[in-house]
Structure 1
Amino acid sequence: MSTRAESLLGYLSEARWFGGKGREFTVSGVRRLGTVPGRAEPPVVIDLVEVTYPSHSPEPDEKELYQLPLVLATEPEAGLDSAFVGWWEDPDHGWVHAYDALHDRASTTLLLEAIAAEADADGLDFVRLPGHELELDAVPSLFSGEQSNSSVLFGEDSVLKVFRKITPGANPDITTHQVLTEADSPHVAALYGWIAAEDPGGTGEPLHLAMLQQFLRTASDGWEIALASVRDLFSEADLHAEEVGGDFAAEAARLGTALAEVHVQLREAFGADTLDAAVVAQQMALRLGAAIDVVPALAEHADRLRGAYGALADLGKIDVQRIHGDLHLGQTLRTIKGWKLVDFEGEPAKPLAERLLPDSPWRDVAGMLRSFDYAPHAMARSLPEDDPDVSAQRERRAEEWAARNKAAFLTTYAGAKATTAGGEEMTLTQEEGVLVAAYVADKTVYECVYEARNRPSWLPIPLAAAAKVGTP
């Protein structure tokens, strides 16, 4: 193995955003996508690193592509020690000290300036949308908490989201934000531009590398706001959810309106289609079967879950369109101008081709409904209590909070009324009720597998939900 490949393997192994941690892999190739214009020395290049996971079976090896913007310095850069990738003989620049360019303020400013200038460098394409004057003198800073991508904040003006794992093809985070921005949607951060490249693998597909969008200065995380509301409820022993100062129902209703309007705009921009409901139901049933192998406790609820899928199959055809695909409270931001939806990449575990397929808007609805269930039960589990009476009271109040906010959300999304267990008024048509139950069931099964693999202590939350699928 070359020094370059060894260095890249070591850096990837420790990177927060690398998806293959804990797996055996090799660096099987490096392709240069291009050089960022605007500075000759030290150059900033964008490399595409191919990693291979050996299968140790007759199945072919799995491969992934990761993006690395690099500063290639001829001498060590003391201020970038924490971003050091390695020292090797570069095919274009000789012996270099390579650093992750996103940790270097001057280098990230080069990326911003290239987008502003709509530069067309060799192999790289910098695209800018009209309507906003970028602040090129804003001081950049790299966010530290992200898991799968890297984002650089430019003052209070814009954010550059750099996709680390790259799949050839149009990234839905960019294409969806573009149409919503051009439709003047108030429910997303405006897209200002993006960086793309030609696929050196010869697929003919574009490589979307990064997107520049509006920085939401006043934004608060929807999940954290919901948890604060639950915390307020738990602290008031004698009050109901609607009587507590931190009641979230009005915000849940606004979220329902925001999602409904976004779905309309996406349908107008990307069109709509139909799918055979029986095929969709069969896919859900197959996912349930695979999930039971991982979470045997799901078998107890299999008949109820399959009943929801069977009712879906009886619908004949269902409407599908472009949706968010991975919606929950953590994908929402509350600003002084209302709710914003973020991260339209879709479910990250799915291949890009699947994420681009039209799906039922009720999948997004189900994601939000499950999030309203998670928030109070997650908070209850975070507050240890030896007194079983106190724990039981918290459980009742968690159910009350969840029911109230689900109802508020669905009331504004679906716009109908019926009595629910939470005392709120809403209605769904019979078909809509079937769709909600099936997609909530499918989401719950996914959650069971996720929790079993990542947070076993939280597994009781979706398992409890699986026992109630289809109930009001």
Structure 2
Amino acid sequence: MSKAASTWTTPRLVTASPTVPPAPPSAVSPSLSPVDARELVGSLAPMLHEWLPHQRWFAGKGRAVTGFVPVTVTELQPSDTGNPGLLHLLVRVEQRGATGPPPSIPTSTPSAPAPADDCYQLLLGVRNALPPHLAPALVGHATQGPLAGRTVYEGLHDPRLAELLLERLRTPGALGTLRFDRADSVPSGLAGRLLDAEQSNSSLVYGDEYILKILRRVFPGPHPDLELPLALAAEGCGRVPAPVGWFEADDPSGSGDSLTLGVLQPYLRGSQDGWQLALAALADDREFTTEARALGRATAEVHIALAAALPTVTLGRRQTGQLAAGMAERLDVVARAVPALGPYAPGLRGAFDALAGLGEAGRGRPAQRVHGDLHLGQALRTPDGNWSVIDFEGEPARPLAERRRPQPPVRDVAGMLRSFDYAARSHEPWRPDWATRCRAAYCEGYAAVSGTDPRAEPELLRAYETDKAVYEVLYEARHRPDWLPVPMAAIRRLAGGV
């Protein structure tokens, strides 16, 4: 299979498609100048304006897109009469001066600067015309620029282009600014299919053997979804599928950091996620405490391995105060964005005041790398009955630096406790007693392995549960308004100090 590459960077903003003479319907030139780069992205801009805001993984919903900045573009495969083309783009999306909700809630540091424009990874297929099975993947038809007369589509829907990505991971090396690497051999000839699950990234499954996560919103610096599983694999932790391959790019800004773009891991064939298992138990009026207890043990094993593999710190008075202040600031922001939260804000703030009081007492608390977004959907039970933990990206709305910051392990515990509440609340009739028993069993399992019961310091656990519930309120109000009553039920409970 012929493969060619062309790569460029440019700092200039593209706000509209430039007027250019039509180009022949051929592949992008192997070597483009910055002017050609701007021309290409400019010609794609009208269709991206329409297509991008509707993607599940686009974080800037509710704010108008004002322009696109090409960061890097690599031609993974040129298009010809026999092959579809595949363009890899990193595009910075400008939303300056736009109205609507902020792209993320504040960080733990109240004085942190506002987030920069987001950079997204796009994999665009190019054909003369789409076959019927690829019609849902349509992005648009190019009317000008280097791709004039061609059809542009979401390349991950195309099995032929999905196979190309796997081949690149099978043969490590550089292609333009992209670098492909692997930790183990990968067989060839595995058919790829795009998962349609609701998520903040995109995932391809190859032959039920491997899963490739394509990270859509890209940040410079080590990405937890690669960094932590690699560290856990080196520590011998069997609770997390070890990365088999990955690809990255250098940060064009010159920071010296890499941009993690995709991670290939074993696909746990036949496994079921904890969310579906919990809902099935509720539907059958079954207890879930045995599963919850085993899941607590698995969480503790992951935490112990992370503490052994990566540096730990102790949070003193100042750090604990900053942690509480960041939670309080997030509460204020979300209360302004979601009026239903306002009446409960004083009671919720009491949880953060209690956390600050722990810092004033002068007792240090251990902090380490954690999962960061642990819930039932991030836990898979394999056919042999063991639990595995996946998706170490952390909460996508939070800045990468915050997601990589050491935190008390109880943050993950709080996330899972909230997930039991979610499951119980989504069932009719509501089963708060079921959730209470699951929460207790999970903490018991965690304590049996770690030697520390998360309930032993209720102020810390309540603060993290409250912070998580506030995050959930903003998420549901923005993305799934019908689900807003679920976190609001926890808000009412937590505002009463329970």
TM range (shorter): 0.7 to 0.9
| Structure 2 length-normalised TM | 0.78
Question: How far does residue 260 in structure 1 lie from its aligned partner after superposition?
Answer: 0.4
2:89 to 41, 47, 52: 47
Compare 160-169 and 308-317 and name the one that shifted more: 308-317
Q: 2:76 aligns to what?
A: 36
Question: How far does residue 28 in structure 1 lie from its aligned partner after superposition?
Answer: 2.2
1:405 to 403, 424, 438: 438
Task: Indicate yes or no: 2:137 matched with 1:103.
Answer: no
Counterpart-to-counterpart distance in 2, 1:20 and 1:11 = 13
Task: Indicate yes or no: 2:142 matched with 1:87.
Answer: yes
Question: How far does residue 69 in structure 1 lie from its aligned partner after superposition?
Answer: 1.8
SS of aligned partner of 1:315: helix
| 1:411 and 1:427 in contact (8 A); partners too | no
Counterpart-to-counterpart distance in 2, 1:415 and 1:4 = 56
Paired amino acid for 1:348:
P
| 1:134 and 1:157 in contact (8 A); partners too | no
Q: 1:440 aligns to what?
A: 465
Task: Indicate yes or no: 2:389 matched with 1:334.
Answer: no
Unpaired runs of 5+ in structure 2?
A: 1-15, 18-42, 100-112
Q: 1:156 aligns to what?
A: 208
Question: How far does residue 150 in structure 1 lie from its aligned partner after superposition?
Answer: 1.5
Question: How far does residue 15 in structure 1 lie from its aligned partner after superposition?
Answer: 3.2
Counterpart-to-counterpart distance in 2, 1:295 and 1:100 = 34
Counterpart-to-counterpart distance in 2, 1:257 and 1:61 = 37
Counterpart-to-counterpart distance in 2, 1:331 and 1:204 = 31
Counterpart-to-counterpart distance in 2, 1:454 and 1:197 = 31
Report % sequence identity: 41
Higher relative contact order, structure no. (Cα contacts within 8 Å, ≥ 6 residues apart): 2
SS of aligned partner of 1:120: strand
Distance 1:455 1:12, change over 3 A: closer
1:263 to 281, 291, 303: 303
Counterpart-to-counterpart distance in 1, 2:115 and 2:299 = 40
| 2:124 and 2:152 in contact (8 A); partners too | yes
Counterpart-to-counterpart distance in 2, 1:116 and 1:187 = 25
Paired amino acid for 2:420:
F
Paired amino acid for 2:223:
N
Q: Please list the CA deviations of residues 327-363 of structure 1 after superposition, one character each: whole Å capped at 9, or x if unmatched.
A: 1112211112411112111111111121111112111
| 2:191 and 2:206 in contact (8 A); partners too | yes
Compare 201-210 and 262-271 and name the one that shifted more: 201-210
Task: Indicate yes or no: 2:413 matched with 1:365.
Answer: yes
Q: 1:78 aligns to what?
A: 131
SS of aligned partner of 1:191: coil
Distance 1:217 1:198, change over 3 A: same
Counterpart-to-counterpart distance in 1, 2:481 and 2:164 = 44
Q: Please list the CA deviations of residues 163-187 of structure 1 after superposition, one character each: whole Å capped at 9, or x if unmatched.
A: 1221222221111121122333222
Distance 1:202 1:8, change over 3 A: farther
Q: 1:383 aligns to what?
A: none
Distance 1:7 1:299, change over 3 A: closer
For 1:31-430, list aligned pairs within 5 A. Answer: 31-36=71-76, 42-55=84-97, 63-73=117-127, 75-78=128-131, 80-85=134-139, 86-87=141-142, 96-130=150-184, 133-233=185-285, 246-275=286-315, 276-296=319-339, 298=341, 300-316=343-359, 317-337=364-384, 338-380=386-428, 394-395=429-430, 398-415=431-448, 428=453
Counterpart-to-counterpart distance in 2, 1:31 and 1:177 = 28
Question: How far does residue 297 in structure 1 lie from its aligned partner after superposition?
Answer: 5.0
Question: How far does residue 68 in structure 1 lie from its aligned partner after superposition?
Answer: 1.5
| 1:33 and 1:198 in contact (8 A); partners too | no
Q: Please list the CA deviations of residues 239-282 of structure 1 after superposition, one character each: whole Å capped at 9, or x if unmatched.
A: xxxxxxx3210100011011101011111122111223222122
| 1:294 and 1:449 in contact (8 A); partners too | yes
Distance 1:60 1:211, change over 3 A: closer
Distance 1:90 1:332, change over 3 A: farther
Paired amino acid for 1:47:
L
SS of aligned partner of 2:381: strand
Unpaired runs of 5+ in structure 1?
A: 234-245, 381-393, 417-425
Distance 1:249 1:17, change over 3 A: same
Question: How far does residue 103 in structure 1 lie from its aligned partner after superposition?
Answer: 1.9
Paired amino acid for 1:438:
A
Question: How far does residue 457 in structure 1 lie from its aligned partner after superposition?
Answer: 4.6
Counterpart-to-counterpart distance in 1, 2:234 and 2:79 = 32
Counterpart-to-counterpart distance in 1, 2:414 and 2:241 = 23
| 1:258 and 1:339 in contact (8 A); partners too | yes
Question: How far does residue 296 in structure 1 lie from its aligned partner after superposition?
Answer: 4.8
Q: 2:489 aligns to what?
A: 464
| 2:180 and 2:247 in contact (8 A); partners too | yes
Distance 1:288 1:43, change over 3 A: closer
Question: How far does residue 123 in structure 1 lie from its aligned partner after superposition?
Answer: 1.2
Counterpart-to-counterpart distance in 1, 2:358 and 2:334 = 25
Distance 1:297 1:129, change over 3 A: same
Question: How far does residue 11 in structure 1 lie from its aligned partner after superposition?
Answer: 3.0
Distance 1:250 1:127, change over 3 A: same
| 1:196 and 1:210 in contact (8 A); partners too | yes
Compare 282-291 and 247-256 and name the one that shifted more: 282-291
